[in-house]
Amino acid sequence: MKSLDDYRIYGFRLAISYGTGFGVSLMLLVVLLLLTKAEKRKSFIFFLNAACLLTNTIRCLLFCTWVTGNFYDPYTVLSGNRSRLTSADFASFITINIFGVIVTILVFMSLSLQVWIVCVTTPPLQRSIIMGTTTVMACIALGFRLAAVYLSTKLTLNALDTDSILVLIAVSYILQAVSIWMFSCVFTYKLGHAIIQRRRLNMPQFGPMQIVFIMGCQTMFVPGTFAHASLSLETYLTHL
């Protein structure tokens, strides 16, 4: 009964997570298409951001169908009997993994391009250090992601247990989060530096730059605080 309850709760979490991701990605895609000025719709960064949102919308939708499909059927999961799985189920599983890699690549490309844009006015040495550090971290995270996806797909298609790569999957997600956090640190620092310069020029009005700076700090530190608290609570409950 404990295993059944854990399975049920995990399914709820997956459904909420990917259902929310689907709705948010679709909403942001519509907002991006409607509010972007016509002259900016021809820019490369616009196509990258639109492609990120579109592919992530498809990925989240496929994950929602996976949660309600035969792969996550209680009998299939708890008994280990794969007789109910069809070719469509395997095709959907492979497509989800492929779209996950595509989303990761597009996100890193978009972030790298935006870092290059915000660092145009910085000295060449600093720009090279920032771009080199973020690019190397993104490549490492992408490499771990590709390895995790490849091994997960291979083991699943061969009806083998994936417990042996759980650490690799966890590390790939951690590296991806750290890489995105590094890009976010660059954006937030540049915004903060620009705000300080505006104040020195006697331009202290509260505008979009301040709003983006505040939201950038919040989205970096507030989720991290809750994640740390959740991890501490889970660790405490595990040891009870």
Stronger pLDDT, 77 or 106, i.e. the higher one: 106
Residue 233: pLDDT band with limits 50, 70, 90: very low
Output the pLDDT for position 139. 93
Q: Which of 29, 25, 30 is nearest to 63 (CA)?
A: 25
Stronger pLDDT, 53 or 81, i.e. the higher one: 53
**pLDDT surpassing 70 at residue 219:** no
Stronger pLDDT, 81 or 166, i.e. the higher one: 166
Quick: pLDDT tens for 28-80: 888 888 888 888 888 888 888 889 889 999 999 988 888 888 888 877 777 77
**pLDDT surpassing 70 at residue 218:** no
The angle subtended at Cα 200 by Cα 197 and Cα 206, nearest 5°, is 75
Assigned domain for 237 exists: yes
Assigned domain for 143 exists: yes
| Token digits of residue 47 | 């196509």
| Token digits of residue 100 | 């996950």
d(CA 146, CA 101): 7
| Token digits of residue 144 | 């771990």
Stronger pLDDT, 55 or 214, i.e. the higher one: 55
Output the pLDDT for position 191. 72
Residue 237: pLDDT band with limits 50, 70, 90: very low
DSSP state of 165: G
**pTM exceeds cut of 0.95:** no
**Would you call 145 helix, strand, or coil by DSSP?**
helix
Output the pLDDT for position 38. 82
d(CA 178, CA 10): 24
Quick: pLDDT tens for 198-208: 666 666 665 55
Distances (CA, A) of 203 to 185, 189, 197, 198: 24, 19, 9, 5
Q: Helices (DSSP H) in 158-239: which residue ranges?
A: 166-200, 208-238
**pLDDT surpassing 50 at residue 229:** no
Amino acid present at 159? A
Assigned domain for 55 exists: no
Amino acid present at 45? I
Amino acid present at 155? L
Quick: pLDDT tens for 117-146: 878 778 888 888 888 999 999 999 999 999
Question: Based on the structure, what is the number of domains in the chain?
Answer: 1
Entry field: residues in the chain: 240
Assigned domain for 75 exists: no
> What would the mean pLDDT of 101-113 be, rounded to a whole number?
90
Domain, as residue range, for 190: 125-240
Assigned domain for 114 exists: no
Residues 6+ apart with CB under 8 A from 84: 70, 73, 75, 76
Assigned domain for 116 exists: no
Output the pLDDT for position 195. 67
Assigned domain for 169 exists: yes
Assigned domain for 51 exists: no
Cα dihedral 145→149→150→153 (10° resolution): 170
Distances (CA, A) of 115 to 29, 39, 77, 192, 212: 21, 22, 43, 15, 15
Stronger pLDDT, 212 or 19, i.e. the higher one: 19
